[in-house]
Amino acid sequence: MNIIINGVEKTYTSSLTLETLLNELDHASKKVAIEVNEEIIPRSQYKNKLVVDGDKIEIINAVGGG
């Protein structure tokens, strides 16, 4: 399965959820927003949203400041 994450093509051999993908990318404990194919996915759906071949995923990290 080939997907694009923040403009970089990645290959995975098995299906995964957004939650699993975040764990693999070490983003699980960070506050992020995720967009899949130009649709923002609510955090409540990360556990059930399957990543499929050809998905274009953008992961945006929340940054504090002031």
Question: In this predicted model, what pLDDT tens digit does every residue of 5-62 receive, in sequence order?
Answer: 999 999 999 889 999 999 999 887 778 999 999 999 999 999 999 999 999 999 998 8
Q: Identify whether 8 is part of a domain.
A: yes
State the residue range of the domain holding 55: 2-61
Q: Identify whether 7 is part of a domain.
A: yes
Q: Identify whether 30 is part of a domain.
A: yes
Q: Identify whether 24 is part of a domain.
A: yes
- The number of domains in the chain is 1
Predicted local confidence at residue 66, as pLDDT: 64
Say which CATH number the domain at 22 has. 3.10.20.30
Q: Identify whether 66 is part of a domain.
A: no
Neighbour tally for 20: CB within 10 Å = 17
Those residues whose C-beta lies under 8 Å from the C-beta of residue 22, and which sit 6 or more positions away, are: 28, 32, 34, 46, 59
Geometric angle at alpha carbon 38, from 25 and 52, rounded to 5°: 55
Predicted local confidence at residue 28, as pLDDT: 74
